Amino acid sequence: MGEIVALAGAGIGGLGLFILAIGLMTEGLKAAAGSSLRRNLTTWTNTPLRGIFSGFLMTAIVQSSSAVTVASLGFVNAGLLSLRQVLGIIFGANIGTTMTGWLVAVLGFHLNVEAFALPLVGIGMALKLTQQQGRLAALGQTLVGFGLFFIGIGVLKDAFDGVMQTFSVSQFSADGLTGIFVYLLIGIVITVLTQSSSASIAITITAAASGLIELYSAGAMVIGANIGTTSTAAFAAIGATSAAKRAAAAQVIFNLGTAAIALLILPLLFYFIDVISNALALTADPALSLALFHTIFNFMGLLLVYPFIGKLAGWLEKRFRRRDEADAKPRYLDNNIAQTPALATNALLNELIAVQGRFVMLYQSAVYNKHDDIRPFQRQARVIEALLQQVSKFIVNLETAALSDETTAQLAIMMRVSNYLEDCTQATDMLASHLANRETLGERALEQQLRSYLIEVYGYIQQTTTPNDAVEPITQETLQQRKDQIKDSLILAGTLHHIEIAHMSLAVDCLHEAWHIAKTWHKAVARLNTLSAVLTPS
């Protein structure tokens, strides 16, 4: 009984070390990349093929396709990449995750773990302790994770060797199709529970190398790991934007399709692996065979889907629209990107620009439409206010300790822009209410001047949003002069009893609201344009 407990403890501990190692490597490399990640991605993924290579490279480095896939949801949400570009990253990540199998098969069983891994842990911790922040500290964390990666493999191998000596393998065998599907399910469950296909594959290869499971069963577990890894993206997409759900759906489609094909031709794949092994004079090594198997069937899936990336993206862009793109839901913000400030700033910028467009339509509706029932207009105003409140909340919830001074300054500007846009929305709501409740002025010329001024403010809002060189620009000075002139005329007409005093007062209030909107709008747009020049990749 004591031996069983010891073996179980060793297995759990080895798995725990492995998962901890993956987390340390992922977080360390992400911190080391910093804001350069944002700039480089726009260059690395401008074609699907380059996106695939980027996904492969990032996953091979951080040893976590789940981390890269979840990060890619943030890239598309932040408006940095199109769905087509992100599909390349996701598909490339599936190829990159096969490097785990090669690390385990080639290095994990042929190195003196203590001599190789423990110094990495020591060096990494020395860097982490002497450099509290910065890239050297992040590099130290990465080295610690890399060292623990191999220590975890060593512990798992020892645990499985102990199982082999204690129990008969025949107790765990399952034959035929039933056995294949049992081990497929085991691979899925392990991956879902650990949230790491790398951990599941390491367990599978280690178990096969120890003789605990046969090669076909291990192959089914590897396929199950490929299916199970989609759960990470699926979980991350819950409550996320529609763009995130589309990207997650792409991974699910790709992995399920690849897994189905691999299961159908499982014997053929292993026959092909035997041919390759014999041609290269490789020894019959289950670990190498499984690493090669994992690589071949993922690469096969990529070759099959690559010609259809554009069509798949087009099909996905028509999905997940009803709930996810409800009016009051942000288009670019979700929890996935809140952990990466470089992505969060781009997402916030795009969200504010989207709200800016909503406001232009709101003001147009206030001025041009006669609102017999003001409630539909007010609902649209509430939607904009709700979006801006979510923008402000998102900014506040970002982890300020991890932000650079530059990013902190940018977020402060965004918070101010959000406040300006909210102020404009409330003023427009008030303007629409005044226009709905007022009577037409008794003097027709004054009524026309008031209407003309409100439309002129709309023209000013439009020109500051989308400049048009063919139209003479409206200046703030012109708007102020026109407002003062119309106000003087209204007061004079009220004094001379040409119009009702109550009508005059409401007309003056409309003027003040419109002028206030113009001034505040200018402040918001000027700051947004400055941020766009800094954050939008050239």
C-alpha span between 293 and 330 (Å, rounded): 42
User: At residue 535, does pLDDT exceed 50?
Assistant: yes
Dump pLDDT digits (tens) for 112-127.
555 667 777 888 888 8
Model pLDDT for residues 52-106, shown as the tens digit of each residue? 888 888 777 666 676 677 667 766 665 666 777 788 888 888 888 888 777 777 6
pLDDT the model gives residue 112? 55
Is residue 167 pLDDT above 50, yes or no? no
Per-residue DSSP letter, 281: T
Average confidence (pLDDT) over 319-337: 67
Residues 118 and 315 sit within 8 Å (Cβ to Cβ): no
Q: What average pLDDT does the structure give for the chain?
A: 79
Q: What is the pLDDT of residue 169?
A: 40
Between the two ends of the chain, the Cα-to-Cα distance in Å is 65
The answer to whether the CB of 481 falls within 8 A of the CB of 420 is no
Q: 236 pLDDT band (50/70/90 cuts)?
A: low
pLDDT greater at residue 489 or residue 314: 489
How many alpha carbons fall within 13 Å on the CB side of residue 515?
19
Token representation of residue 310: 């554009």
HSE of 535, CA atoms in CB hemisphere, 13 A: 27
Q: Nearest 10 degrees: CA dihedral of 103, 108, 111, 116? A: 80
Q: Which domains does the chain have, with CATH numbers?
A: 2-316 (no CATH), 341-535 (1.20.58.220)
Cα–Cα distance measured from residue 89 to residue 391, given in angstroms and rounded to the nearest whole number: 28
Look at 508 and 196; give whichever has higher pLDDT.
Answer: 508
Nearest to 161 by CA among 1, 4, 7: 7
Residue 78 pLDDT:
59
Q: What is the pTM of this model?
A: 0.58
Structural tokens at position 422: 């909210």
What distance in Å separates the CA atoms of residue 190 and residue 225, rounded to the nearest whole number?
A: 8
Tell me the average pLDDT across 508-527. 94
259 vs 230: CA distance, rounded Å: 12
Across 337-468, the runs of DSSP E, i.e. the strands, are none
